[in-house]
A and B are shown apart, each in its own frame.
Chain A
């Protein structure tokens, strides 16, 4: 972000804060006059003292659980709706299906392990790590077998990357369909991986000069496979064993998964058990029948690996309406690009007629999600919220109409278009399309 943008964000915050002060003054004036007004904390402003303050509560008096009540800690019992959820009608069976990350309940840039969306093609493989093997074969000097213990002897790295399913927002090609950013944009998570650069593993086996392509394969009941150019594997792919500091979760490929930064989530083979080197791609089911992008003229693109620049406003959104009425409001969202870092994000409250720079906050890493905020004083009137991300390679997130004009509506994958939330005067939000 440039300094001038930082400056303008600061100025805006100051102005909005002053506006907020005058709003409070007028609210107080009303209370003083004996009238009822709804304050920004959701309680009616009355002369009655708040019993949560004036009375001693149970948790103020009695002792809570001791240490070890939960050897593996869990979220507060009150956080019941911060959970992954599925859309039952999307797929035939839960064992080959998908669920969605609750983006509207998350902050910062890291997705907690238990909330990372799941996509399986043969259910979750439960693998005893002592019984897991990783094989490298094909066009190599020495075909090899590694155990998890072997993997832990390689130099390892820590990197934060987003993983986005190529079909994220795929239900929205024809028009607004699902009412919540969890469902429209929740096939994404952002995790710090600890893993071994794939190039180190390949160097052990010694790739022959005829080797050009790599086929990773999973050890689950779907034996998932994808063809990946060797160049990418030697660039930034990892074989990860840990996510956000702990061992991979079973649903994320325990004990090891492939990390393919910036590229389709389907390529990040979970339960990784084999890596083959070849001289041509294999044209597997997941790169022919699926994960190819059918265009309006009947032609289909294949090997569309990179995930494009994209953003979404997570709050407010249909599952997270504005409950406080007019006044100071925080708009928050996520932006990411498979091409690198996010350069800037613009926000519109009038459906793309006018845009303001959002404030990027938190770490800015290549191929990792970025958090953005727009702090403003809501006048209580209807809004059409949009966000538009630009990445460091200069790609700009397109409108829905622009994307449909280029591809038609049957591509399924790679829908990175601008999302609109309609905020109504009562603060509720809806997924809409506008003209």
Chain B
């Protein structure tokens, strides 16, 4: 038995059976399956599940608790993971829970560049959900899972108020809506402008950013921002904008650093948005500058020095001037007959490339 198995309590097939059946009797509460299904969305960016699920960035997870690990056909596992699961190991609730807490420290070298789920209850819910999905991708929900129509329940409980007793607010023209509280505006107003408006107070270093990036970003964006598959390339590409195939990255194309901060904070990591602290975002932004050779390794990005940073391509954006193009300023009636002398000859065909999806019959 290898180190990983000892640490996480993995068992071989034979011994796992008892524990698995014990688990299925205890963790199938509807609520935890439903909660797990929701929490699973942070996994769905890489792991497909459900009817018709196929391998994507990670292997599909239908029946993952029943199947032998590291054996999904067609998926290219890391050596580290294959070794950890050799010869024939099945996950159980406690081993999977330990793994999901910190995947990278439990199986160093796994491709699963995911920081982990720190909260134990959340991990248990995710595992309950995984255990409920069979190998066909169907969810075995316990009988009492009738989803509650919360809105209806709410309406029924609300006592009716006499129309004449309603207090009409004074703002505006039609007096509709209510005033937003300062805390509410602060919770949602997270946009940052190039002039620094909206930037929170804080800081983050290239070093700290590298650690967060390795844990949260590499699965899609690659170790050095080079991008994996068709995920966005973040670094490099300088001086390629006039090439046949330009590489548009933060360093080569984006005009403003504020866009990096704003976008990471509002939408990243993919599938777990708004999970990073403001300082985490400072650190990742600093690291992305470093990956683009725009700062040194010891650089610390702060709310004070933020607006001083300029991206190289800032001055190469122009306003919409399409109306000045010759094809747009046509004021004459278009040609109707004998517009081109020779008969048409095919110069390019779509079928040569053969990239159109097949018809589904």
**Chain A residues within 8 Å of B, Cβ to Cβ:** 80-81, 83, 85-93, 95-96, 121-123, 128-130, 135-138, 141-146, 150, 153-154, 175-180, 183, 200, 203-206, 215, 217, 221-223, 225, 273-274, 276, 278, 280, 282-285, 288-289, 292, 294, 296-305, 308, 318-319, 346, 350-356, 384, 388, 390, 394-396, 398-399, 402-403, 406-407, 410, 414, 420, 422, 430-435
Contact = CB atoms under 8 A, between A and B. Distances in A.
A396 B57 CA distance: 45
B307 interface: no
A323 B213 CA distance: 56
A240 B353 CA distance: 41
B189 A276 contact: yes
**Size category, B interface:** 35 or more
A122 B246 contact: no
A285 B262 contact: yes
B174 A135 contact: no
Contacts of A352: 339-340, 344
Interface in B267-306: 267, 270-271, 273-274
Nearest to A422: B346
Given A85-B357, A122-B273, A222-B273, A302 B176 contact: no
Identify which of B184, B185, B274 gathers the most chain A CB atoms within 10 Å of its CB: B185
Contacts of B357: 85-88, 183
Nearest to B228: A92
B353 A434 contact: no
Contact of B44 (A95, A346, A403): A95
Nearest to A412: B248
Contacts of A90: 230
Given A178-B350, A355-B334, A432-B349, A145 B178 contact: yes
B179 interface: yes
A83 B359 CA distance: 11
Contacts of A402: 326-327
Contacts of A96: 270
Interface string B320-361: 111001111011001111111001111111110101110110
Nearest to A401: B327
B258 interface: yes
Given A180-B356, A303-B319, A294 B241 contact: yes
B259 A288 contact: yes
Contacts of A130: 150-151, 154
B99 to A, nearest CB: 23
A297 B344 contact: no
Interface in B24-54: 41, 44-45
A14 to B, nearest CB: 21
A304 B319 CA distance: 8
A136 B171 CA distance: 13
B191 A430 contact: no
B42 to A, nearest CB: 10
A238 to B, nearest CB: 16
Contact of A398 (B191, B327, B336): B327
B56 interface: yes
A354 B360 contact: no
Given A203-B173, A282-B191, A283-B256, A395 B330 contact: yes
Nearest to B241: A298
Nearest to A383: B344
B172 A206 contact: yes
Contact of B344 (A83, A95, A384): A384
Interface in B118-160: 150-151, 154
Contacts of A284: 191, 259, 262-263
7 contacts: A86-B357, A301-B317, A308-B322, A407-B325, A422-B349, A431-B350, A435-B345
A203 B172 contact: yes
Contact of A154 (B150, B176, B340, B347): B176
Contact of A92 (B231, B320, B343): B231
Given A298-B242, A394-B331, A406 B256 contact: no
B222 interface: no
B184 to A, nearest CB: 7
A432 B350 contact: yes
A346 B322 CA distance: 23
A137 B186 CA distance: 10
Nearest to A303: B320
Contacts of B44: 95, 123
B180 interface: yes
Given A143-B179, A302-B317, 18 more contacts: A87-B356, A122-B270, A137-B180, A137-B185, A177-B350, A179-B351, A203-B173, A223-B190, A223-B274, A280-B193, A294-B241, A300-B253, A300-B316, A304-B320, A355-B337, A356-B336, A384-B344, A432-B350
Contacts of A410: 246
A355 B266 CA distance: 50
A283 B331 contact: no
Contacts of B326: 402, 406
Given A303-B320, A432-B348, A396 B330 contact: yes
Nearest to A221: B273
A351 B45 CA distance: 45
Given A180-B356, A283-B259, A301 B319 contact: yes
A246 to B, nearest CB: 18
A356 B349 CA distance: 25
B177 interface: yes
A329 to B, nearest CB: 19
Identify which of B56, B150, B348 gathers the most chain A CB atoms within 10 Å of its CB: B348
A142 B172 contact: yes
A87 B354 CA distance: 12
